[in-house]
Amino acid sequence: MDSLDLQVLQQARDWHAQGQRVWLVTVIETWGSAPRPPGALLAMRGDGLVVGSVSGGCVEDDLIDRVRQGERVGHPSLITYGVTKEEAARFGLPCGGNLRLVQEPLTDTAWVDEVLQRTARHELVARRLDLETGAVTVEPAVRGEAFTFDGRSLRALFGPRWRLLIIGAGQLSRAVAQMALMLDFEVICCDPREEYHLTWDIPNTTFSKAMPDDLVVELQLDPHSAVVAVTHDPKLDDLALLEALKSPAFYIGALGSRSNTAKRKERLALFDLSPAEIDRLHGPVGLDLGSRTPAEIAVSVVAEIVAVRNGVTLLQKKEGSAVAEGAPGVCART
């Protein structure tokens, strides 16, 4: 569940507190090409004002028109768009795609408060809606779960399902953290150096002064975790990499030139890492975008993390770069 949906819940709660009538609309199923995934949310006010999205726009227009024409749904109900070719064309659903939604009145915001409070603590939670009774419950969720709908109840996830550990708290780290937050990563920055942690002020991130290797072990990195080391200090970066490369983290990268990456791999080989584990390292970190400024480098780093997460071929890598074994194929660019 992305941050947009949390913003939708917050706005819906605020409208409700102002005495407005509010409805939530949730995407439950799509066919063909769809701009919003199952679980995506839209909130609609009684006067037709909306926040969020469930399609490219035409479906939202129809939902608004229904409300302005006096439709007032009193209990959860299903709506289907694009059953026929004509409807698909009318509502702008690509390739004749279909879209199924659940529309429900927001009558109690206690569960919304709970979701917002728990996700603010970096918890991953699930909201379960019973379509027959309208009852909503909030329960713990774990990384790897997905939105589900069985015909009677839907279960939607809220909170960070992906986690990024940044080793080092410099200018580049700040830019990477801000971009990762926008992509709904839980962001943790680790730097034991006094002169760096005192200036870390990125909201909604966690900061640790622990030694990087200790923190990697403590976090118990999973397949939904990524690590990027950017301190330029082998005493810190290598310590973190020694532990991270033995974990199931889906991405592990380190800042540095191709020659520095080769030297780093030689150092790592002196410890209890197998060649296969060392080959998991992405280096030099990031895609080749011609980046020069910290912000541009951050774009290249975060783009590579997203590409690896999504299983996309890494086309923009400098010739001779070390690319993790088992990662998507690489087409060298000069």
The structural domains of the chain, ordered by start, are 3-158 (no CATH), 162-333 (3.40.50.720)
Distance CA 274, CA 270 (A): 10
Does residue 147 contact residue 156 with C-beta atoms inside 8 Å?
Answer: yes
Residue 31 is predicted with a pLDDT of 67
Residue 34 is predicted with a pLDDT of 58
Q: Which residues of the chain fall short of a pLDDT of 50?
A: 1, 330-334
Torsion of CA 109, 102, 138, 110, to 10 degrees: 0
Of the candidates 75, 263, 312, the one whose C-alpha atom is nearest the C-alpha of residue 254 is 263
Residue 208 is predicted with a pLDDT of 96
Of the candidates 260, 219, 223, 259, the one whose C-alpha atom is nearest the C-alpha of residue 238 is 260
Q: Strands of 185-190's sheet, edge to edge? A: 206-208, 185-190, 162-167, 225-229, 251-254
Does residue 170 contact residue 230 with C-beta atoms inside 8 Å?
Answer: yes
Phi-psi label, residue 144: left if phi above 0, alpha if psi -120 to 50, beta otherwise: left
In the chain, DSSP assigns E strands to 22-30, 41-45, 50-52, 77-81, 99-105, 125-130, 136-140, 148-149, 153-158, 162-167, 185-190, 206-208, 225-229, 251-254, 314-318, 330-333
Q: Encoding tokens for residue 43? A: 């909130």
Q: Strands of 136-140's sheet, edge to edge? A: 136-140, 125-130, 153-158, 148-149
Residue 143 is predicted with a pLDDT of 79
Q: What is the 3-state secondary structure (H, E, C) of 104-132?
A: EECCCCHHHHHHHHHHHCCCCEEEEEECC
Of the candidates 75, 88, 70, 79, the one whose C-alpha atom is nearest the C-alpha of residue 31 is 88
Contacting residues for 34 by C-beta, under 8 A, at least 6 apart:
27, 55, 93, 94, 97, 99
Residue 229 is predicted with a pLDDT of 97
Peptide bond into 248 cis (omega under 30): no
Residue 127 is predicted with a pLDDT of 97
Distance CA 94, CA 316 (A): 29
Phi and psi for 100 in degrees, rounded to 5? -115, 135
**Which residues are registered as beta bridge partners of 153?**
130
pTM for the full predicted model: 0.69
Distance CA 130, CA 134 (A): 5
Distance CA 183, CA 5 (A): 12
Does residue 230 contact residue 168 with C-beta atoms inside 8 Å?
Answer: yes
Residue 1 is predicted with a pLDDT of 47
pLDDT in tens, 235-292: 899 999 999 999 999 999 999 999 999 999 999 999 989 999 999 999 889 998 888 8
